[in-house]
Amino acid sequence: MRASGWVMHLALCGALLATIGCTPLAPWERGTLAKPAMALDPNPAQSAMRTHVRISREAASGGEATSGGGCGCN
């Protein structure tokens, strides 16, 4: 699939999902969402370390706005 196709696909999914819940969710209804396991990245420090190793093994790792230096030349 071409890149533009993926953009359209994701935009469509996003629009559909966004319509699912637009009414406010009361704080007491968010207890489950507050569990550590429900965080988008439950262990960001580990993710960052692993990404740094993957950068020197995969062409598509990195390239995000969360900066970090390093050659990754090995």
Partner 1 sequence: MAATETRSAETPRSKSLRTLTAAALALPGIMPAGSPAAEGSRATLDYQHYNEGRRDLASREYAELDLKAIEVDSLALAMHHAFHDLFALDLHYMQDTWAGATPVLSLPQAAISDQIYTGASIPQSYAVDRDGQPVTVNYDDFTGSGFAHNRDGRGVHLMGSASAETRRQVDATLGYAGGTHTLRIGGGVSEEPDYHSAFLSIGGTRDFNSKRTTVEWGASYTHANIDASLEANSAADWGAYAARIRLQDGQRTLFGQRRDTALTLGVTHIIDKHSLFALGAGYARASGYLGNPYKAVMLAFDDSSQLPDASGLRTVVLRGVLEQRPDQRHQWTLSARHVGYVERFDAALHADYRFFRDDWGIAAHTFEFAWHQPLGFGFSLIPGLRYYRQSRAEFYRAYFVFNQAMPVMPGPVIGGALPEIDHARLARHTFASDTRLSDFGFLAGQLAFKHELARGMTFEIGTEYGVHAGWLKLGGDGEGSFADYDSYFVYGSLALDLAAPALARAARREGHAVLLPRATPAGVRYAERLATAGDFAFGYRYEYGLTGGGLRRGSDDVSRREARANGCRDAPCVLLPVDINTHVSLLDLRYALSSRSTLMLATRFLSTDLDQSAVAARGAFEQDSSGGLGDSEVTWLHGLIDHQRYDFSLALGFSAPTGSIHSRLGDSRAFAPYALQLGSGTWDFVPTLTFADDHATWGWGAQATGRLRLESRNEVGYGLGDRIEASAWLSARLCAWLTASVRGLLSAASRIDGEYDARLAPHLVGYRYRGTEAVPVYSFDRAVHAHASPLDDPGAYGGLDFDLGFGLSSLIRNGPLAGNRIAFEWLQPMLNHSNGYQPDRDGRLFLTWELGF
Separation between Cα atoms, residue 8 and residue 13, nearest integer Å? 9
Least separation in angstroms between CB 21 and partner 1: 5
Least separation in angstroms between CB 37 and partner 1: 4
Q: Mask of contacts with partner 1, 43-72, x by CB under 8 A?
A: xxxx-xxx-xx--xxxxx-xxxxxxxxxx-
In the structure encoding, which two tokens stand for residue 73, read together? 């030349």
Residue 63 is classified by DSSP as: -
Q: Are 10 and 30 in contact (CB under 8 A)?
A: no
Residue 16 found at the interface with partner 1 (CB under 8 A): no
Separation between Cα atoms, residue 18 and residue 1, nearest integer Å? 24
Binding residues (CB under 8 A) for partner 1: these are 3, 6-7, 10, 13-14, 17-18, 20-22, 24-25, 27, 29-46, 48-50, 52-53, 56-60, 62-71, 73-74
